[in-house]
Amino acid sequence: MKDFDLLFEQNPVFSALSEDKKQLVKKTGISKRFSKGEMIAIDGDIWPYLFLITKGNVHALKSSMEGRNLVVTTFIEGDIFWGLAFFYEHMPMPVSLEVAVNTSIMLWSAENLVPILKSEGASAWELSRLMVYKMMRASEILEEMTFQPVAGRLAKLLIDTVRNQQNGPVTRSLTLDEMAARIGSTREMVCRFLHRFADDGIIDITRTEFRVMDSQKLALVAQNTKG
Amino acid sequence: MKDFDLLFEQNPVFSALSEDKKQLVKKTGISKRFSKGEMIAIDGDIWPYLFLITKGNVHALKSSMEGRNLVVTTFIEGDIFWGLAFFYEHMPMPVSLEVAVNTSIMLWSAENLVPILKSEGASAWELSRLMVYKMMRASEILEEMTFQPVAGRLAKLLIDTVRNQQNGPVTRSLTLDEMAARIGSTREMVCRFLHRFADDGIIDITRTEFRVMDSQKLALVAQNTKG
DNA sequence: ATAATTCTTTGACTTTAGGCAAATAAATGG
DNA sequence: CCATTTATTTGCCTAAAGTCAAAGAATTAT
């Protein structure tokens, strides 16, 4: 866990503030802790806050009226996020924020923070950029969900998972349900495709771990080359 | 077509500028015209501009490597939009911008406009809000495409179409292909569901026009009530 | 008006995804 | 270590969406 001051300084929005505003902002922030599984805010809430994660991970998730969930994105230490109501008074949250592991955040209300941001062009500008970045991510997800079949999305997920690991066999850290939530499918489908990949020699898989055998082929599947 | 000055003043980002900056911005804008079907920018382009539509309509569309297209949103007179590279130097466009009808725009390069926005907190703040709004729309689209079946998406499209029309029979202004592009499906599917709706007494349809007969039922279908 | 083109409509068939249920393996808590 | 719970794996079946092809109607160009 990094120091709060460090994370604060590393954030483009906060670091663009003038010194005195920085101090003011630091003072008005409220520190909170959540345990795994708790919800910071729920889809539909009017939640006029902006927060910085000082430790842990938070999932942004959408859920349909049936059971299916989609983990749209995961926020990590140092990230900031907000409720729509931070920007538009009466707007409801488009996602729920679920705490993935024990997490600490620093929280600001719109009431306190907005006047400060408005007064500092550089900071507001950085905020715009951040938004654009999030929008880009949303756009990518939309594209994947719309045009990519399940196999491609799963392949992409595997690549992302392995990227952060060493090369050898990897303990399966996500359950099938968790993988399914990340690609917008079901555990059964994920299971089937994993084994299909294994049949094709792309991965090796046991009930508890897996290893990418042919990352090239995997990349092809992720790019939808149905060869 | 409204006067450019009026549109400029009505735009939250520009209207938040101070008077002298407004004049400066107006001077640096470049006016352009496009005819129906022309592309302002193409998916993947590095396009560091922001524009205001002074007349006409522009579609933002994603396309998969097969034929399928998705009209993510339509910009109308008074709207502003931008390339990602306006905010992040090397970032490619996530969508193509296709001119839907003859259109005039006013165009600003990042080089000219960014320094001005940065210097004015209120304006940059409005830009952030605009982003948030777009993000919200993207989020809605994602949710619809992911959790709503085709029938629901089509019902919603019909409701939106009729909203902007009088009550009686409406000339079918969109082709099946155009409708399909807006809901992320195919012309055949759209055709089938339209006729299914007709069988259910929800709409009346001929080859050239249609009329909503039971807007309540239509709304139910749009909300996924499968009853 | 006629021909050419563009749209619409339908039927038959394929693919993709998902649901349900049962069997089995692993992990967890006494 | 045993019992219980949680995950994984598969087979079988259904539903949703899409493709292909062909026929017919409207529109546009000549």
- The pLDDT > 90 percentage for chain B reads 78
What distance in Å separates the CA atoms of residue B215 and residue B43, rounded to the nearest whole number? 37
Residue A222 CA, distance from chain mean position? 20
Asked whether residue B149, judged by its CB, lies under 7 Å from any atom of the DNA or RNA strand D, the reply is: yes
Please state, as a whole number, how many other Cβ atoms lie within 10 Å of the Cβ of residue A222: 21
Residue-level pLDDT at A163:
83
Among B139, B147, B184, whose Cβ lies nearest the Cβ of A146? B184
Tell me how close the Cα of B169 comes to any Cα of chain A, in angstroms.
33
Residue-level pLDDT at A167:
66
Average pLDDT over residues A121-148: 91
Please, how many CA atoms are within 13 Å of residue B209, restricted to the half-sphere of its CB? 8
Closest CA relative to residue A136, chosen from B15, B115, B86: B86
Residue-level pLDDT at B106:
97
A132–B87 C-beta distance less than 8 A: yes
Is residue A53 over pLDDT 70?
A: yes
**Which tokens hold the place of A123?**
């900071």
Residue-level pLDDT at B226:
46
Residue-level pLDDT at B225:
55
- Using an 8 Å CB-CB cutoff, list residues of chain A that contact chain B: 62, 64-65, 68, 70, 72, 84, 87-88, 91, 94-95, 114, 117-125, 127-129, 131-136, 138-143, 145-147, 184, 224
**Which tokens hold the place of A166?**
């060493």
Handedness of CA A180, A185, A188, A192 (dihedral sign): negative
Residue-level pLDDT at A227:
41
- The pLDDT > 90 percentage for chain A reads 79
**Which of A142, A144, A150, A226 has the most B C-beta neighbours within 10 Å, making it the best mutation to test the interface with B?**
A142
Q: Which of chain B's residues have a Cβ under 8 Å away from the Cβ of A117?
A: 121, 125, 128
What SS3 class is residue A78?
A: coil
Tell me how close the Cα of B50 comes to any Cα of chain A, in angstroms.
13
Is residue A13 over pLDDT 80?
A: yes
Confidence of residue B1 (pLDDT cuts 50, 70, 90): low
Q: Work out the mean pLDDT of chain A and round it to a whole number.
A: 92
Among B88, B124, B147, whose Cβ lies nearest the Cβ of A64? B147
What distance in Å separates the CA atoms of residue A97 and residue A188, rounded to the nearest whole number? 26
Distance separating the N- and C-terminal Cα atoms of chain B: 45
Confidence of residue B66 (pLDDT cuts 50, 70, 90): confident
Encode A137-154: b = buried (16+ Cβ within 10 Å), e = exposed.
ebbebbbbbbbbebbbbb
Q: Which of chain B's residues have a Cβ under 8 Å away from the Cβ of A138?
A: 135, 138-139, 142
Residue-level pLDDT at A164:
72
Residues 156-215 of A with CB under 7 A from strand D: 172, 175-177, 187-188, 191-192, 194-195, 205-207
Q: Which amino acid is at B112?
A: N
- Report which secondary-structure segment, H or E, holds A85: none
Q: Secondary structure of chain B in the HEC alphabet?
A: CCCHHHHHHHCHHHHCCCHHHHHHHHHHCEEEEECCCCEEECCCCECCEEEEEEECEEEEEEECCCCCEEEEEEEECCCEEECHHHCCCCCECCCEEEECCCEEEEEEEHHHHHHHHHHCHHHHHHHHHHHHHHHHHHHHHHHHHHHCCHHHHHHHHHHHHHHCCCCCCEECCCCHHHHHHHHCCCHHHHHHHHHHHHHCCCEEECCCEEEECCHHHHHHHHCCCCC
CA distances from B7 to A81, B3, B98, B137 (A): 32, 6, 21, 22
Q: Tell me whether strands A103-109 and A49-55 are parallel, antiparallel or unpaired.
A: antiparallel
Among A121, A140, A224, whose Cβ lies nearest the Cβ of B119? A121
Residue-level pLDDT at B167:
65
Average pLDDT over residues A37-51: 95
Closest CA relative to residue B134, chosen from A138, A114, A86: A138
Q: Which of chain B's residues have a Cβ under 8 Å away from the Cβ of A122?
A: 118, 124
CA atom of A126 to C1′ atom of C27, Å = 46
Residue-level pLDDT at A219:
94
Tell me how close the Cα of A152 comes to any Cα of chain B, in angstroms.
13
Q: Which of chain A's residues have a Cβ under 8 Å away from the Cβ of B183?
A: none
Average pLDDT over residues B77-92: 95
Residue-level pLDDT at A172:
87
Residue A146, nucleotide of least CA–C1' distance: D17
Residue-wise pLDDT for A202-227, tens only, equals 999 998 889 999 999 999 999 875 44
What distance in Å separates the CA atoms of residue B191 and residue B213, rounded to the nearest whole number? 18
Confidence of residue B227 (pLDDT cuts 50, 70, 90): very low
Average pLDDT over residues B170-197: 94
A138–B135 C-beta distance less than 8 A: yes
Burial label for A23, CB within 10 Å (0-12, 13-18, 19+), is: exposed
Is residue A146 over pLDDT 70?
A: yes
pTM for the structure as a whole: 0.90
B132 versus B108: the higher-pLDDT residue is B108
A135–B131 C-beta distance less than 8 A: yes
A136–B131 C-beta distance less than 8 A: no
What distance in Å separates the CA atoms of residue B201 and residue B183, rounded to the nearest whole number? 22
Is residue B72 over pLDDT 50?
A: yes
Residue-level pLDDT at A166:
64
Among B68, B84, B142, whose Cβ lies nearest the Cβ of A142? B142
Return the number of CB contacts < 8 Å for A and B. 119
Encode B46-83: b = buried (16+ Cβ within 10 Å), e = exposed.
ebbbbbbbbbbbbbbbbbeeeeebbbbbebeeebbbbb
Residue-wise pLDDT for A176-190, tens only, equals 999 999 999 999 999
CA atom of B129 to C1′ atom of D15, Å = 41
CB B27 within 8 A of CB B4: no
- Report which secondary-structure segment, H or E, holds A200: none
What distance in Å separates the CA atoms of residue B171 and residue B206, rounded to the nearest whole number? 10
